[in-house]
Structure 1
Amino acid sequence: MVEYLAAFYPFSPYFHSWQIITHMFMHGSIMHILFNMMTLFSFGPILEQTLGDKKYLILYFVSGLGAFFLFNAWNFVEVQSISRELQELGFNMNAYLSGANVNLSGNEDSILRQRELIGSLKAIMYTPMVGASGAIFGVVAGFATLYPDSKIGIMFIPVPIKVKYLLPIIVVGSVYLGVSGNGGGIAHLAHVGGALVGWLLARIWKKHLYRFN
């Protein structure tokens, strides 16, 4: 089902519009879905009780959409950069994108570089994004916005940490890993997109939560 339900780059031949939603229900492994569901179970019920069912669902799914769009916005930037460099090396990008067979030309170093760039381009075009992590990062960010002084325990850290300190560290780390290309197969910028949406919605709604109490 990966070809149809995972989220491919919007300009990939495998992309379908429904994937912006269905990718949230796909996961790469049993551990992936277990970790996501444990995190959701830890933060979700409190946030749902505070926001109410409708706002909670909106935050969850819009955070998932934010994850998809930020991740692919960066993919678009990378594709443009790769395409520009390939064209500078004499590679016929238009013919390649139309499906034609394009021969590599130039000296040995140029050909090696073109092959490397084409490999990076194919990785973006044909590697899908899966998982609810973006939506769940939105839930965690929403929780941190409404309950910033709550302390949580993290594995390997002996003392509880307030979420208002922990979340920014995670977000900054995710930005670095996503932009530097050291993500290890994890869509770190999707996490950032989800967290930004969750933070923004919770910040807006926070002003009105206790308005009538």
Structure 2
Amino acid sequence: MFNTLPPITRNIIILNAVVFILFYLLNSQMLYMKFAAFYPFSPYFKSWQIITHMFMHGGFMHILFNMFTLYSFGPVLERTLGDKKYVILYFVSGLGSFFLFNLWNFYEVQQIQSSLEGFGFNLTDYLAGESVAFSGSADAILTQQELVEKLKSIISVPMVGASGAIFGIIAAFATMYPNAEIGIMFIPIPVKVKYVLPVIIIGSIALGVTGNVGGIAHLAHVGGALVGFLLARYWKRDQYRIN
């Protein structure tokens, strides 16, 4: 069954599996830090991370879900779009995922910086590694500590996974085949994909903006889906043009 997959989808799945196994066997935090995607203004950020993070995953269930979804939706799009457009869809969706997620991170960093400066906290010195004391009332100090911890999380916790690219694939499929029906767990009847995708996107935006993320980069999913939708809409519009 795996051999019947079109070549690009098959090779992407193989590459993700190989990288996952390799990192699992090496169990190297240093390598993980080099290839996961950090916030672009973090001292841990490297330019190649915008690509390499797409082939890294946080656990077995993470990669299993992503690759099964690619296995389910990818072949149809690869055959419909052709090799070049399909590769563009996958990787540009992944890049869109990284961009939107970090655009929100940038907004949050600016908010944190403004709040800390309002308390008189010297963020520049703190980020430079100097010893900086909190000041004010007990509540003010607690608030400053919480803000600094949130800032440290943005700077030092990386993003990994192909989920942004996968959401681009799903969104493109829903755009090109809106009336295709798919089965969903706990729902006894097939549901048209054009109804499923908006619910997922709205939920992801709500979870990403409110901070109820549970270790999941929900806004990254939205970024990937947005790119997938726009590309598929453009290609679908041009599908029937006469050359």
Which TM-score band applies after superposition, normalised by the shorter structure? over 0.9
Q: Which residue of 2 aligns with 1:74?
A: 104
Aligned residue number for residue 102 of structure 1: 132
Cα RMSD for the two superposed structures: 1.0
Q: Is 1:36 paired with 2:66?
A: yes
* Larger RCO (CA under 8 A, 6+ residues apart): 1
Amino acid at match of 2:186: F
Q: 1:105 Cα deviation (Å)?
A: 1.2
1:52 paired residue among 82, 88, 92: 82
Shift of 1:37: 0.2
2:180 aligned with 1:132: no
1:2 is matched with which residue? 32
State the alpha-carbon separation in 2 of the partners of residues 76 and 7 from structure 1.
15
Deviation at 1:212, TM superposition (A): 4.5
What pairs with 1:169-180 in structure 2 (closer than 5 Å)? 169-180=199-210
Tell me the alpha carbon deviations over residues 114-143 of structure 1, each in whole angstroms, 9 at most, x when there is no partner.
111100000100000000000000000000
3-state secondary structure, aligned to 1:152: strand
Q: For residue 227 of structure 2, what is the amino acid of its counterpart?
A: V
1:87-166 equivalent positions in 2, closer than 5 A: 87-166=117-196
Identity across aligned pairs (percent)? 69
Question: In the aligned structure 2, how far is the partner of 1:211 from the partner of 1:162?
Answer: 27
Distance in structure 1 (CA, Å) of the matches to 2:113 and 2:32: 27
On the 8 A contact 1:8/1:14 being kept in 2, the answer is yes
The whole-number CA distance in structure 2 between the counterparts of 1:125 and 1:16 is: 13
Tell me how far apart the structure 1 counterparts of residues 237 and 210 of structure 2 sit (CA, whole Å). Answer: 36
The superposition leaves residues 166-200 of structure 1 with CA deviations (integer Å, 9 ceiling, x where unpaired) of: 10110000000000000101000000000000000
Distance (whole Å) between structure 2 residues aligned to residue 209 and residue 186 of structure 1 = 35
Distance in structure 1 (CA, Å) of the matches to 2:175 and 2:226: 11
Q: Which 4+ runs in 1 deviate beyond 6 A?
A: none
Q: CA deviation at 1:97?
A: 2.2
Structure 2 counterpart of 1:194: 224
Normalised to the residue count of structure 2, the TM-score between the two structures is 0.86
The residue type equivalent to 2:83 in the other structure is D
Name the SS for the 1:60 alignment partner.
Answer: helix
Give the letter for the 2:104 counterpart: W
State the Cα deviation string for residues 79-126 of structure 1 (Å, max 9, x = none). 010111111011011211222111111111111111111000001000
**Cα distance in structure 1, aligned partners of 2:83 and 2:131:** 53
Moved more, 187-196 or 155-164: 155-164
What CA distance in whole angstroms lies between the structure 2 residues aligned with 1:94 and 1:27?
Answer: 33
Query: Does the 8 Å contact 1:51/1:209 carry over to 2?
Result: no
Q: Deviations over 1:43-94 (max 9, x none)?
A: 0000010000000000000000000000000000000101111110110112
TM norm structure 1: 0.98
